[in-house]
Structure 1
Amino acid sequence: MAEATPVVLGLIKELRSHEVAIAELNHLSSSRAVYQKNGNIFFQTTIQKATASEQKQLDLAKAKLEKLNSP
């Protein structure tokens, strides 16, 4: 197996980060306030919107990783 490049390792780290964020959001009570970072500012949002955003970012990171791993 070839050694992973720093770019691939960074994408794997990003994937894990998004997976953990989704898992944490799924275990919050529905009345809990959550904040999502947009640029340098945090905005209050719903758990559903934050989860959807994290899932979208996870899907994008997976697509980038697949593109790098394809021949």
Structure 2
Amino acid sequence: MATSSSSSSGREFELEKEIKRQEVSLDELSSLSSSRRVYQKNCNLFFLTTSEKAKTSAQKQLDSAKSQIDKIRSRT
């Protein structure tokens, strides 16, 4: 049981880092004009896209990380 607890706390820490990363990304993308082109990382490749599409993707990742961390916290 102790390994499960330490494993979930490690996962929770990683999710907290991901949430901070996505929040910073959203803030940075929000400061750009909507027509601005940006590079978005997909796996190990970068693709040129609009800042609006990148913001949408970052918001989805943020929402996913928040829901995962909520599930972990509700178990403990």
Normalising by structure 2, we get a TM-score of 0.81
Q: SS at 1:70's partner residue?
A: helix
Which structure 2 residue ranges, 5 or more long, are not aligned? 1-7
Contact 2:35–2:50 (Cα < 8 Å) also in 1: no
What aligned pairs does 1:1-71 form with structure 2 within 5 A after superposition? Answer: 5-71=9-75
Which structure 1 residue ranges, 5 or more long, are not aligned? none
Q: Tell me by how many angstroms 1:30 deviates.
A: 3.7
Identical positions, percent: 50
Residue type at the aligned position of 1:8: E
Residue type at the aligned position of 1:56: K
Distance 2:34 2:56 in 1: 15
Q: Deviations over 1:4-55 (max 9, x none)?
A: 8211111000000000000000001345320001121100000100000000
Higher helix share: 2
